[in-house]
Chains A and B, each alone.
Chain A
Amino acid sequence: MSDRFSDSSDETLGRRLASELPRHAAPARLRAAILDAAAPRAAKPAWLVPALSALATAMVLALAFLPLLPRIVPVDPAERLTRSVVAEHERALMWGARHAEVIPAALPWLTQESGIGLRSVFAGDDRLSFVGAEPVYLDGRRGMALYYRDTDGHLVTYTVLPAAGLPVPERRRLQVDRFRPALLYDSGFSSWVWRQGDLVCFLVSDMVSEAELDRFKDYFVRVRTATEPVPAY
């Protein structure tokens, strides 16, 4: 060790610290980094912030009020009624039928509530099983709805409403067995629509693809041939 180690006075120690302790110079990249951080950034245009705020507000308002805007109502009365029937089918799909009644025990009650009688009714078979029945009130009309579920779990809703003189769209009619119902689509659902006297009937399901059309035709035939609704009063 050096001789200076023996001199341990405060002043000497201070001098040693000042002169012998290595000094570390800042690297050039550090100076550059600090200068870069200190450089003023390009100012944003004065209009940018208010414009973005206004745009964001408008988008939020549009999203908030979008569900409240009136939907475009179809001009065709059959299509308009189909929309109501499909909405009821959606409700049943989401929440289930309000009354799971057993046919024929429920028929007198259904007739009383809906004003529609059933001379015969499709009560289900090996492909479609009966789920429930309930009176409905759609588009200002009392009617009834019968719910079925097929072996794959598709809900199929048969709805019958009084609609004297309601025209079934000719251009949508298809030949199915010996019948010519119209096939309408709404909100991702398909619906057979046909007239039986002064009543209009609907069979709704989510089978909308070409591949499922044959099966849906088959369901229509089963329900149509076995069910005969009539006005009760």
Chain B
Amino acid sequence: MASDDFTQQALQHLDALYNFAVYLTRNPPEADDLVQETYLRALRFSHRFEPGTHLRAWLFQILRNTFLTFYRLREREVPIADDGVPDWDVPMFHDAPEDSSSAMEAHTDLERAMSRLPQDFRTVLLLAEVEGMPLEDVARVMGCPVGTVKSRIFRAKERLRALLSDYKR
């Protein structure tokens, strides 16, 4: 397992990771599970972390990959709703509570609009704009070139603006 130093450094990013997880899963109990799984993996594979590189980006990358792993599983398992969009309220982890009251409610138009963005667009905005991560780190987390990140940010904002203007009407 990881050294105490590594654990302490990794825990400095707990709040940011949890916030990211909540917006990805839109369900706090699932976010708990996701973050916990992320840390377990990070601590187990701490020897693979290259000192001097960005621990924060590495942790976000693990979290996103973990999310995608379960997300893809869920997409295969969950029937598609009438509008062709998967039912987002289904718990991501099999043992997650299914109490709908625990699901995150969107209180503002901005939250509602964010929740309606495709997952890749939402992720890129959360990392770049909300977490203020450099584009190089975002590219590392997303596993794509920086140019693709820029393009996604542009398109994500366009989509977000359209959604917000819908709410304005």
Contact A14 B129 (CB under 8 A): yes
Contact B2 A38 (CB under 8 A): yes
Please tell me if B65 contacts chain A, counting CB pairs below 8 Å. Answer: no
Number of interface residues of B (CB under 8 A): 38
Contact B18 A37 (CB under 8 A): no
Interface SS of chain B: helix, strand, loop or mixed?
Answer: helix
Number of interface residues of A (CB under 8 A): 25
CA distance A17 to B153 in the complex (A): 12
Please tell me if A25 contacts chain B, counting CB pairs below 8 Å. Answer: yes
Contact B107 A22 (CB under 8 A): yes
Looking at the complex, which of B36-44, B94-102, B138-146 is the stretch in contact with chain A? Answer: B36-44
In the A-B complex, list the 6 residue pairs whose CB atoms are closest, starting with the nearest.
A26-B18, A17-B129, A24-B22, A14-B129, A34-B39, A38-B7
18 A-B pairs besides A1-B167, A31-B14 with CB distance below 8 A are A5-B109, A8-B161, A13-B157, A13-B160, A14-B129, A17-B114, A23-B19, A23-B130, A24-B28, A25-B15, A25-B19, A31-B11, A34-B11, A34-B14, A34-B36, A34-B39, A37-B40, A38-B1
Q: Report the minimal beta-carbon distance from A77 to chain B, rounded to whole angstroms.
A: 69
With contacts A8-B161, A34-B39 taken as known, whether A21 is within 8 angstroms of B18 at the C-beta atoms is no
CA distance A140 to B128 in the complex (A): 94
Show 7 residue pairs from A and B whose CB-CB distance is below 8 angstroms, ordered by the A residue: A14-B128, A25-B18, A26-B17, A27-B32, A30-B36, A31-B14, A34-B35
